[in-house]
Chains A and B, each alone.
Chain A
Amino acid sequence: MVSVSGCMDALRDRGQCALIPFITAGDPDLETTAKALELLDRSGADLIELGVPYSDPLADGPVIQAAATRALERGTRLEDILAMLKNLSPRLKSPIILFTYYNPILNRGIEAFLQDIAAAGVSGLVVPDLPLEEVEGLLQVATQVGIEIILLVAPTSPKARIEAIAQHSQGFIYLVSVTGVTGIRTEIQSRVQDLLTELHGVTDKPIGVGFGISQASQAKQVREWGADAVIVGSAFVKRLAEGSPDQGLQAIETFCRSLKAAVTES
């Protein structure tokens, strides 16, 4: 299993920007999720972020909220997501990053949760409601288990916080490109460029930009501003949910290839 940092370092050595698609597990069903992961893996994804559906996703905008609600209504459970991943992950070249809110982790027990996701082949973890002040307990165990914890930096983060977050983040630093929740936006704020410059000034770790990137042109823009990875979520989730599962899969394949082309230097 490739680690997040191993994958990011290898890409950086080759001068490449990583593409990280995000989908919600269990929307429309786990069978489609498994197919989508395989498809993304061979259509240009370098790493894949998989969202665990949660009842109260307060960092998510309407698209991912709705996907989580549908997934939960279908009875999607963490158990089943992990069973699917355990089966599938040996066949994927892209490291899997799990995106989950904190309560399901706490509910399972931090140690059990990390061990179980590691056993399922997960490499990294993003917990959007666990800021630096609360993350220590998770970081300690994660290091033992071999899961990398990716921390988020926001446009509102002051410099001292940015430095501390950069120091503790593993794999890469997740730069939230908007003051807001996940979702599709028409343009990327120009201050993302300043934030990237500022971040590169305080850390050697790779930086991934996400929240609000939904078009190839935006992905290209962010790459040109110096991002080491581009994370695209709602735009994938929306495409996968439209029409039949097969139509959805076809749509995300095309979209993934177009994004990969946009983040690849020509």
Chain B
Amino acid sequence: MTLTPLTLGSSASESQTAQRPDALGRFGKFGGKYVPETLMPALSELEAAFYQYRNDPEFQQELQGLLKDYVGRATPLYFAERLTQHFARPDGTGAQIYLKREDLNHTGAHKINNALGQVLLAKRMGKRRIIAETGAGQHGVATATVCARFGLECIIYMGVHDMDRQALNVFRMRLMGAEVRPVAAGTGTLKDATSEAIRDWVTNVETTHYILGSVAGPHPYPMIVRDFQAVIGQETRSQCQEKWGGLPDILLACVGGGSNAMGLFHEFIEEAHVRMIGIEAAGEGADSEKHAATLTRGRVGVLHGAMSYLLQDQDGQVIEPYSISAGLDYPGVGPEHSFLKDSGRAEYYSITDRQALEGLQQLSRLEGIIPALETAHAIAYLEVLCPQLEGSPRIVINCSGRGDKDVQTVIKALDMMPEQS
């Protein structure tokens, strides 16, 4: 028997939503702080700084000013006319597809929204040394960028395998004065880079701020990163209002750790009629052994400080994930996504390497926009989603990053050479 008065109904659940995460950093049972004791005071300090500054007018003025003049926000909400035509039915109905153009941000992805917010926090906390992990290199580039902008020491941990497939981003980071430290442990990808960044932070915590790049890790990171990325959804809401005077019907985004998806979803979580769909990387197939479909295939576990869905073997050892996209091959996922999945508020599906490559080519040919391989997973899901839809619902896809960094990978994957001119 529950003693909760039924009359409180929806308003009670709304206020619970507004308070996620709770004081312990929990989204339901997910989240928390599973870190060595050494880091606990730093996490408390970061949480206190975030609460102090997020509503501070001077902080907000600096952040908003830089988002506008340095990052180039607001990013457009673009009506993808030919993509829409491609999925139109003979009777003219079909999904109306819009792209939230995060790929047009300075540095080419949504990652800079968070990196900028966190570097402003670090500055106020008096931390002059910045560390970060990176997979595809977009978060590393964003962090190197804001460190250059503020004259801070910057060390980026990156798996050796990722350094190889994202050589362009390694060069960009170094060009901006960051030190890129190769991580050879494990498979040399994002998971291993994150572990190494945490080890650095445990060692240098008194002088260093760790700019974690996704809505993952221990509390308060999933909250902080979400809130700095929430600008994506906030702009989307007002742009939808301008364009058709309403809300979007469906939100679609790729999910590795899940920061671009949370950034788009957060604003709409309490809008029960807005469908939210996250797309994970199925690699060579979610039924194969080579994938990164954490929410689809994982079990609840603890990695990098948070309880969430996790790809793990029968002994609880973390499984090395796989995806053609260096930004999606993470064995964990942000705890709030696990919560949204279990509560049924968001849906999660997966897309294979092959499908993502098709999505990348489709958007390139139909719209003249080359998306990142990560983003291409969300694009590719249209092939599955659109035939299921009735009428002409409006879909907003987070076009989270541009694909320049991926062309070498794509060339290799498509087994084709660039055209001679």
In the complex, what distance in Å separates the CA atom of A56 from the CA atom of B300? 16
Question: Nearest chain A CB to B186's CB is how many angstroms away?
Answer: 7
Q: Which residues of chain A come closer than 8 Å to B365, judged between CB atoms?
A: none
> For residue B40, which residue of chain A has the nearest CB?
A131
Question: Nearest chain A CB to B246's CB is how many angstroms away?
Answer: 43
The verdict on B397 contacting chain A, using a C-beta distance below 8 Å, is no
- Whether the Cβ atoms of B38 and A155 lie closer than 8 Å is yes
Q: Which of A149-163 contact B (CB under 8 A)?
A: 151-158, 161
Q: Which residues of chain B come closer than 8 Å to A57, judged between CB atoms?
A: 195
**Which of B199, B204, B316 makes the CB contact (< 8 A) with A61?**
B199
- Whether the Cβ atoms of A180 and B38 lie closer than 8 Å is yes
- Whether the Cβ atoms of B202 and A181 lie closer than 8 Å is yes
Question: Nearest chain A CB to B248's CB is how many angstroms away?
Answer: 37
- Whether the Cβ atoms of A103 and B203 lie closer than 8 Å is no
Q: Which of A82-135 contact B (CB under 8 A)?
A: 102-108, 128-134
Q: Interface extent on B, as a size class?
A: 35 or more
- B41-78 vs A, Cβ < 8 Å mask (1 yes, 0 no): 11000000000000000000000000000000000000
Chain B binding surface, main DSSP class: mixed
Chain A residues within 8 Å of chain B by Cβ, number: 42
The verdict on B32 contacting chain A, using a C-beta distance below 8 Å, is yes
The verdict on B288 contacting chain A, using a C-beta distance below 8 Å, is no
Known pairs A56-B191, A56-B195, A158-B41; A131 contacts B315 (CB<8 A): no
**Which of A54, A129, A181 makes the CB contact (< 8 A) with B34?**
A129
The verdict on A176 contacting chain B, using a C-beta distance below 8 Å, is yes
- Whether the Cβ atoms of A152 and B36 lie closer than 8 Å is yes
Q: Which residues of chain B come closer than 8 Å to A65, judged between CB atoms?
A: 185
**Which of B38, B41, B203, B317 makes the CB contact (< 8 A) with A55?**
B317
- Whether the Cβ atoms of A154 and B37 lie closer than 8 Å is yes
Which 5 residue pairs of A and B lie closest in terms of their CB atoms, listed nearest first? A107-B316, A180-B203, A104-B316, A154-B38, A55-B317
Name 17 extra pairs, CB < 8 A, besides A56-B303, A103-B302, A104-B315. A54-B317, A65-B185, A72-B317, A103-B312, A103-B318, A104-B316, A105-B316, A107-B314, A107-B315, A131-B36, A132-B37, A134-B33, A153-B37, A154-B38, A156-B37, A176-B36, A180-B38
A-B contact pairs, 23 of them (CB 8 A): A59-B199, A102-B302, A103-B302, A103-B303, A103-B310, A104-B316, A105-B316, A128-B36, A129-B305, A131-B35, A131-B40, A153-B37, A156-B39, A156-B40, A157-B38, A157-B40, A158-B41, A161-B37, A176-B37, A176-B38, A180-B38, A180-B203, A181-B203
